[in-house]
Chain A
Amino acid sequence: MRSGRYSAWRLLREGLSGHRGWGPAWRSPEPQRHYDVVIVGGGGHGLATAYYLARTHGVRRIAVLERGWIGGGNSGRNTTIIRSNYFWPESAALYDFALRQYEQLSRELNFNLMVSQRGLLMLAHTPHDVELGRRTFNAMRLNGIDAEWLDADRILSEVPSLQPSRFPILGGVMQRRAGIARHDAVVWGFARAADSFGVDILQGTEVTGFRTDATGRAVAVLTNRGEIGAGAIGLAVAGSSTQLADLAGFRLPVTSYALQAFVSEPLKPFLDTVLLSPATGCYVSQSDKGELVFGGALDLFPSFAQRGTPPILEQVVAGLLEMFPTLARVRLLRQWAGCVDVVHDSSPILGPTPVPGIAINCGWGTGGFKAIPAGGYLLAHQLATGQPHPMAVPFGLERFSTGRLIDEAAAAGIAH
């Protein structure tokens, strides 16, 4: 690594010499005229794709093109929940693969992703919630994913700060291996590791078009910094997927919405797990700094604005207060939104596109942070071999004409 290996010993040494020895974690090179693979989008998925292309497939000449700064999209705007409590076997395999990577990636990338497996508890507030929760719990067990059904007493003893009133707690599904990770660290960790393999990370580089050859194959991207030739092109641009597809000449089953996140002022630690309450429309965790990080449903209409609207703000705050009425006087520190790429069945799109030479990774919607290692690994496989990885096959675009959708509405719901 150009920035040198990070370790406790290194920290001590640099500390003793006034922290003047740390190099930048990645270079800012000039674009080359041609790369074996060009990846559009410098979020977690794009950077992880570059990393796995270099590490797993030995591809050497790779560029990641990011129109702003890396992690400036949804990867730097999410509420950092990682989990694999999905319903269908295809999804469970995908998201648990990602979770297993997260469990060891800090070591692999030599970058502390601050993975905290503090568990995620999905609360059931009505008899119907209990039935659905039991169904999720059973599906998870059948899929080989760790899951526990907790009754109300157990929940109130594990999370004593809960003060249910209008929404009594009847039980809940706990995934202990779920939790949170630091979003920026995931972006920076993959960027630094990719850079160490020679990947060119080109920030401030916006793709404005594609050039195709006589056979219709995309062979170059047009950018504000000139044309860049590409042996293969991967798109990982989340909420901008439709616009890139428009430039390339195909359509996607994607609608872009704003999804908001909220952070309170810091409080003493009182919540050591991730709570999710579909009935009140809110999920919440407490950061190491003591801030409550919380969110809820999508905004009410499609938007590219990257800022949320008040009705959802009020609904989510109200949901939080249903669970913790004592927080009524706590102030909000920050609120923001990202532009998320929502697909009808709440499952991602992975694989080739109708334009030869272009493969895509999108449609993660409200829940793709947890999937970054999987999305990167699978897009890398597609770009390196020209074939979808078996794990990605069910998530191809053709599912919309065969009708073989993977409906994860319940698992995606407000649970991001």
Chain B
Amino acid sequence: MKPPLLASRIEATMHLIPCPYCGPRAEWEFQWGGEAHRPRPDLSADDATWAQYLFERRNTRGPALERWVHRYGCGQWFHLVRDTVSHEVLAVYGVEDRPPDLVVEPTP
């Protein structure tokens, strides 16, 4: 029997991400869009506040709230709760929605 091609073997092991519009699709169709729920400071905020907003990250180890976009698909933005250790997707919610109850609201 002919062994399967590398590409199809990779496709078979591909991590699936549930797009709320298209359903589960392979991870490389998506782009991680950064940490979710980060309110932009007021324009008059001082440098330290801007530095916090622009650069400091929660960089959560475990369930993290993230923005994602289905870049090579429907192009829509949405939110994931994703475990950054197991890569398991724990919840999906809309781009304008608050995180579901299963996670503690993060401090900004």
Contact = CB atoms under 8 A, between A and B. Distances in A.
A401 B48 contact: yes
B57 A242 contact: yes
Contacts of B86: 305
B56 interface: yes
Contacts of A301: 27, 32, 66, 82
A401 B87 CA distance: 32
B7 A401 contact: no
Contacts, number: 72
Given A300-B32, A305-B87, A344 B55 contact: yes
A304 B21 CA distance: 28
B12 to A, nearest CB: 9
A261 to B, nearest CB: 18
B17 to A, nearest CB: 9
Size class of the contact patch on chain A: 20 to 34
Contacts of A400: 51, 54-56
Nearest to B15: A309
Nearest to A398: B51
A311 interface: yes
Interface residues of B, number: 30
Contacts of B84: 256, 302-305
Contacts of A251: 52, 56-58
Nearest to B13: A310
A313 B10 contact: yes
B61 A401 contact: no
A314 B61 contact: no
Contact of B57 (A254, A300, A305, A313): A254
Interface in B80-108: 82, 84-87
21 contacts: A251-B52, A251-B57, A251-B58, A254-B57, A256-B61, A300-B27, A300-B28, A300-B30, A300-B31, A301-B32, A301-B66, A302-B59, A305-B85, A310-B10, A310-B15, A311-B10, A311-B27, A400-B54, A401-B47, A402-B47, A403-B47
